[in-house]
Structure 1
């Protein structure tokens, strides 16, 4: 993926999302109403409001149905209290796939405010980004808050100037309003929520899902929009809204507005009066975090950047015991739509994390339960923001997600809604077979057995559970082990291919037939154990000692290679790690060329067995071919990261300079890619293979991939980075070294031309054309691209400029100019002496193309 696209995708992809399959026959919306107890003895105004109403739920909130209206009773003191408004898709239009964000629509910190006879809901999400420091003499634990719990409308006067400044500088939007229709003697307030939840709510709208089916909503149809159900339990109120939009359909533009319906689940839950004590984030440990700016901080600075990690509230039943059960374990429910045959594997995936919590001091920290049946609990709903659920989503999407809903004040995880699309089982099965058909005797044919597929599903679930526990991806864990370790059974079968299950390394690609490797996918690793201890273990006896001990423990992550953490899931992280060849996805092994070569060997053996493994199933053959080719190209592209590669020190990113990839290793990468690597794609063009997949265009597709290998190496940003490296290090691999090595690989032998050589030579022409066109424009495109990048991401001008560098002002350009005349002469001579007509014509065309390159930018 180009760097600009990666940055934009990363900025848009920091949150993991959720989904569900819900039985429309469940009684969530149809709980049997109960008569209001004691209605006759209520005061006159209350009797008028609730006369004839039927109660449909009572807890901290109460809900009633009266005719066509839905009434909700706010408890005394609810106005001004912090709450979370969470919205999720329950049912979507036919054909919609919730692939990018899953089912989550919004998650907002808010509070109720009363103005006259209206209760408004104010969004306070942005206010959590600006906080006052802890008051003198106030709570001192990390994450402890100032006088008022954030989100509350405190009655106490603001006495510190910073409190006055913060409370008067910003306000959140009012996102919903409910008319007050009565009150109760205890101070409760009765609201009519019918109109609001029967309509589209801008801050929690279902409009975006309509785009998935090519619908452009124009307006809500009120005659077909209504409250589909209400549930009250504990501190939460959940309302399902059935909203019908009148929308234009791109597939039928002349049909006029058509009805398109969506069901949304809104959960409103009161947050704890006192937020959970937060734990500070550390750049060495990859937790999702809640960032904010603290003004007048405890350490004395006027303004300071702070962050708290996301984690469940997990407290020991016996605080003095080294190992104790929690007061309340983390409980995951298996959704009602999950097929029975997969449940044992999903449960096993969740419970893989038990040893990590034992290392942090908790026994039985996690449990897995089946969702209650409709008979046991007719109102149970998977979108409820107060429960953790794993759901089966029958949509056409090969993926799984592990999202979380958090209290933004403290980072406390309130719930996790893991989403599994069934197609991920087949997708991972094909991926696994492609690498290990000759390594694992249990993976000779497709589809894989239920047992093998289930084992892979356990791994997938364990990875997603890790996200819900607060852990981000750890892509540097993919290269923690050497190739020798990964081929040694005693080591590889214990630790798997990565040092963390949160890596995207996935599989031990280097394991070869006869190595005796059986643990071919990721398991909970050393990094995971240490990270869970950082997030959930107990440190210190007071706030000061806790901070010291946490900081000291975090330092161990920088000293042990197995505990390194790095990823590319934000603009800041990409800026730091996008040139680090250790930070990889879908690849494993420390020695990049060697690990790639072994992985390619496995893929090529599988390609020879593809027909037998798919048993004549044409669709399975074609889709598996696509998976294999994609993985093969991905392995090759990982080698490209060695070019201009730099490895930052694994500390706070400030104390030491990064290390450059040695020149010999970069040279080896170029030679491998344009030699053995490019040639390794040739088996995909065998007529017996490619013509079963694509009669037209199959050969050209491989040619384009091979040509792209040259273009990637000659990218302007790579050329510029290599020149920068040489300026800082006189023995570094330079842009001129790159040019000479590419020339030798692509144009060294002009006696004849294989299809691979022709593809590489065309790729060279295209790459040179891009570089020379950028030079002719004087780098004008760089400024435009940098401005566009800064419009998308919070980058400094210098950082944006570096990321869109075209190489127009490097010494590579005059070297390229100087090399073209001799190359043209050689090509003309090769054309004259070629024995085969195809070679003669190809060399003549290449000479013509080189001649055109010489004219670019010339007067």
Structure 2
């Protein structure tokens, strides 16, 4: 503790009784929020002049809630009674949206989304209690001299300073008024970021329309809900009100007095992490350390555990179901949680994770999903189609303290739709809007398993979907045993590879071998290791033993350059996989009316599913696009042989571009189902196809991708940026070489091609991807040289074929293209 905090007047030192720093057990023994009562105990007078007597502040009209801190409500004021023993203790403060307006943040945030997490401490300074942030991003052992410098050069800001209103009854704590703090627009705990305030032109918090909704104290946490309304000139919704209203939830959680021994992260296995900079390292620089986020599991019988027996943990991971969960879904949710038991058995633990029904009020009157002691699968009545698996972890060690899985009511609708579209060709159960409960339950089970995986510390592993050969996913025996991807943590939801006639196919994802491997790596207890560093040789050995086996590889899917690490894909060969998927879509499209509108006598489901069908086609295209200019990433350490980055083979890139020309950029007549298009919109089909094709065309002709293709020249790959543009241009303009009629889809696509070439040649500044993906300085690269040279060739070809076209639209289109190219090559300056 800094010296000035120890300078306290002699009178106060004599009055305040020092207590133990550990109050977790004592807090747990106190009455909880359910025992809110009027405070009728006569308070002792304060022992220091300047403070009011306790009973002057906490009057007989106070309603008190005992827990971590005792909370008092007196009229419209809220008071915290903070035990002296909890000063200087580490707390985690999480700010979340409890409710928010439609469209806030562009629609990318939901109720329950975390806005900010920070560690805080309560400290006494003179006649005030201050709330300060505390960071573990920079650390050094207290025994090292450099720790003094770390403290001095990482001084943390004060969030708020509270006047001490009174001493507690026994003078072993302090009473502060928190009303103004929770009623004010404190930026660090606000839901509105600086960008939101700017975009929505937020001027101020309207205090007349803002209030504290509730304050609850539990043994290990305090929960506050704030209902705030801001004046905003351009709100994201309800623009006529000129306001943004939202409800924030502020959680303050007491962290363990002694942090758990952390486990050092290895980027070859996927875990969420915390990061620290260790200034006490012997290295010639500050040592950046990364620890994985995981629950603390310790075997009850360590000797039996070491003998290889399955042992229960001292404290298992327990999830409670939300009381609002429909009865028919409860068995599937429980099974989704407890499916992880098998993976934990691989790590040596029995019954490590358990799902329970919520206790009745008679069984536990104090049970509350907001109590940090309880992790809950929350069932939210919302039209949002999503599920999330957030968790709260100790920033000092990575220990996961608590987790609430959030399931939104409408989420199964998305899964039903994709089940129909992606498996309907080969799966009779999927050919209906009334999906059997058994199938829906299996989908929900696997989604819960996926979200619980996040809450166990596992991020998405997009590499796992490429672990299995594509044709193996047409085998019933293989898919029933291994599923459709090596992990539940991939976005590999359905088996769209299986074809009509394939037998005993598993269509829905499941837990895979990588999940067992990752849980064992992150959770196996190593009793002989007395520090995180001592664990590293064993952990590294487990990884190197699996070198070269695709089942145990990890890839985040970030960057968009690795065709083996993509979202929503399955199978090792993306061209084969997308070919199978597209065959199935072409079978489903003509049946879509029969399976929807013909059954419901309504077009709403048909319109929704047709839009999603086009989106599925787009995904299959995108998977193949990644092969062009693609780079395989294989996470390795220097002790292992091979390269981390390997460009996709030239033959594969050429074949992928041929596939795209035939399946993405050809005219998609199969999508034009008259009984669909003429019943869902008066005129939108052609434009939707143009928009989709343009998106993939621009993706191919992105500076980011072309930079990687140019890099192929020095890597002797045999397929470079010029090869790609030539192949693409000749394919998109094939009619001008063959003399064939140019239909409306191709005319639109060819115009989009010219627009993109204009962008590459003339847009300024052309540095849009410097901060993302593969960096390139367009004006000093070959990109513009290639674009100009190929456009000159195209213009020459167009002029030579003008006279061939008697069809007016085709002729006009050719004439227009020639003029457009001339303007691109010789733009008029304003």
TM-score bracket relative to the smaller structure: 0.7 to 0.9
> 2-side partners of 1:29 and 1:224: how far apart?
24
Q: In the alignment, is residue 605 of structure 1 matched against residue 610 of structure 2? A: no
Q: Deviations over 1:240-259 (max 9, x none)?
A: 4444556667477776x66x
Is the Cα–Cα contact under 8 Å of residues 43 and 169 in structure 2 kept in the other structure? no
Aligned equivalent of 1:461: 448
For the residue of structure 2 that corresponds to 1:781, the secondary structure is coil
Question: Is the Cα contact below 8 Å between 1:83 and 1:109 reproduced in 2?
Answer: yes
**Aligned residue number for residue 552 of structure 2:** 563
**What residue in structure 1 maps to residue 14 of structure 2?**
none
2:624 corresponds, among 602, 625, 639, to 639
The secondary structure found in structure 2 opposite 1:726 is coil
Deviations 1:89-114 (A, max 9, x none): 44446897985254234322110111
Do the aligned residues in 2 keep the contact of 1:29 with 1:228 (CA within 8 Å)?
Answer: no
For residue 783 of structure 1, report the CA deviation from its aligned partner: 4.7
- Map of 1:100 onto structure 2: 109
* Conserved? CA contact 2:100–2:110, under 8 Å: no
Q: How does 1:15-54 map to 2 (within 5 A)?
A: 32-36=36-40, 45-46=53-54, 48-52=56-60
Deviation at 1:708, TM superposition (A): 4.0
Q: Counterpart in 2 of 1:239?
A: 224
Deviations 1:166-219 (CA, angstroms, capped at 9, x unpaired): 111122222234332123436222333333334443322244699899794622
Deviation of 1:638 after TM superposition, in Å, equals: 1.1
- How far does the alpha carbon of each residue in 1:100-139 deviate from its partner, in whole angstroms, 9 at most, with x for none? 2542343221101112222111011xx211111xxxxxxx
Distance 2:468 2:369 in 1: 40
Q: 1:369 aligns with which of 327, 344, 356?
A: 356
Give the equivalent residue in structure 2 for 1:82. Answer: 90
The CA deviation string for residues 38-97 of structure 1, in whole angstroms up to 9 with x for no partner, is 758998944555452656333443333444443332223221111122233444468979
Q: Does 1:193 align with 2:182?
A: no
The 3-state SS of whatever aligns with 1:439 is coil
Q: 1:473 Cα shift? A: 0.6
Q: Paired residue for 1:314, among 277, 287, 297?
A: 297
- Does 2:255 correspond to 1:271? yes
1:376 Cα shift? 5.1
Counterpart mapping for 1:696-711 below 5 A? 696-711=683-698
| Equivalent position of 2:288 in the other structure | 305
Identify if the C-alpha distance between structure 1 residues 603 and 76 changes in structure 2 by more than 3 Å, giving closer, same or farther.
same
Corresponding residue for residue 132 of structure 2:
122
* Residues 317, 326 of structure 1: 8 Å contact kept: yes
- How far off its partner does 1:308 sit? 0.6
The counterpart of 2:376, out of the listed 372, 383, 389, is: 389
CA offsets 1:642-683 (integer angstroms, 9 cap, x no match) = 112121333138974322211111000111101133337332
Instruction: Report if the CA contact (8 A) 1:405-1:413 is conserved.
Output: yes
Task: Determine the structure 2 residue equivalent to 1:724.
Answer: 711
**What TM-score do you get using the length of structure 1 for normalisation?**
0.83
Alignment partners' CA distance in 2, 1:213 and 1:344: 45
Aligned counterparts of 2:780 and 2:595: Cα–Cα separation in 1: 52
Which range moved further: 112-121 or 666-675?
A: 112-121
**1:302 and 1:532 mapped to 2: Cα distance?**
33
Q: CA RMSD in A?
A: 3.3
Match of 1:404?
Answer: 391
C-alpha spacing 1:105/1:387, structure 2 compared with 1 (3 Å): farther
Query: 1:182 aligned to 2:191?
Result: no
Are 1:440 and 2:427 counterparts? Answer: yes
**TM-score for both structures, normalised by structure 2:** 0.86
CA deviations over 1:802-823 (Å, ceiling 9, x no partner): 43554x5455654554454554
Is 1:393–1:421's contact at 8 Å kept on the other side of the alignment?
Answer: yes
Give me the whole-angstrom Cα distance separating, in 2, the residues matched to 1:333 and 1:727. 57
Q: Which moved more, 1:169-178 or 1:669-678?
A: 169-178
1:357: which partner in 2? Answer: 344
- Per-residue deviation, 1:384: 3.5
* Distance verdict in 2 for CA 1:810–1:687, change over 3 Å: farther
Q: Aligned in 2, Cα 1:474/1:194: closer, same or farther, shift over 3 Å?
A: same
Q: Deviations over 1:589-633 (max 9, x none)?
A: 111111101001111211111101113421111111111111111
Q: Distance in 2 between matches of 1:388 and 1:212?
A: 36
Residue 762 to residue 447, structure 1, CA distance change in 2 (3 Å): farther
* Conserved 8 A contact 2:423-2:495: no
Cα 1:607–1:294 shift into 2, 3 Å: same
Distance verdict in 2 for CA 1:443–1:123, change over 3 Å? same
Q: What is the alpha-carbon distance in structure 2 between the residues aligned to residue 389 and residue 801 of structure 1? A: 38
Distance 1:713 1:253 in 2: 39
User: 2:178, 2:791 → 1: CA distance?
Assistant: 75
Q: Name 2:606's counterpart in structure 1.
A: 621
C-alpha change, 1:552 and 1:290, in structure 2 (3 Å) is same
**SS of the counterpart of 1:405?**
strand
Q: 1:313 to 1:697 in 2, by over 3 A?
A: same
1:488 equivalenced with 2:475 (yes/no): yes
Deviations 1:135-172 (A, max 9, x none): xxxxxxxxxxx34xxxxxxxxxxx63201101111222
Q: Which residue of 2 aligns with 1:509?
A: 496
Match of residue 23 from structure 1: none
Alignment partner of 1:803 is 2:763 = no
The 3 A distance-change label for structure 1 pair 352 and 822 is: same
Distance (Å, rounded) in 1 between the aligned partners of 2:161 and 2:478: 61
Pairing of 1:212-361 with structure 2 (within 5 A): 216=202, 218-221=204-207, 225-226=211-212, 228-233=214-219, 235-243=220-228, 245=230, 250=235, 262-297=246-281, 299-321=282-304, 322-361=309-348
Q: CA contact under 8 A between 2:268 and 2:635: conserved in structure 1?
A: yes
Is 2:582 the counterpart of 1:587?
Answer: no
SS at match of 1:466: helix
Q: Deviations over 1:676-734 (max 9, x none)?
A: 333373322344332333322321221232344443333333333222212221x5212
Alpha-carbon distance between aligned partners in 2 of 1:240 and 1:381, rounded to the nearest angstrom: 15
Please tell me whether the aligned partners of residues 706 and 759 of structure 1 are also in contact (alpha carbons under 8 angstroms): no
The 3-state SS of whatever aligns with 2:545 is helix
Contact in 2 for aligned 1:772/1:857 (Cα 8 Å): no
Distance 2:188 2:322 in 1: 27
Pick one of 654, 660, 678 that aligns with 1:667. Answer: 654
Counterparts of 1:540 and 1:364, CA distance in 2: 20
Q: Which has the higher contact order (CA 8 A, sep 6+)?
A: 1
Give 1:495 shift.
1.4
Q: What are the ranges of 5 or more consecutive residues in structure 2 without an aligned counterpart?
A: 1-31
What are structure 1's unaligned runs of at least 5 residues? 1-27, 133-145, 148-158, 775-779, 790-799
- Taking a change above 3 Å as real, the CA distance of residues 752 and 176 of structure 1, as seen in their structure-2 partners, is same
In 2, the alpha carbon distance for the partners of 1:826 and 1:417 equals 62
Match of 1:650? 635
1:150 alignment counterpart: none
Measured after TM superposition, the shift of residue 346 of structure 1 is 1.6
Q: Distance in 1 between matches of 2:706 and 2:622?
A: 17
State the Cα distance separating 1:419 from its structure 2 match: 1.6
Give the deviation of 1:530 after TM superposition.
0.8
For residue 563 of structure 1, report the CA deviation from its aligned partner.
0.6
2:9 corresponds to = none
Note if 1:168 corresponds to 2:152. Answer: yes
Secondary structure of 2:136's match? helix
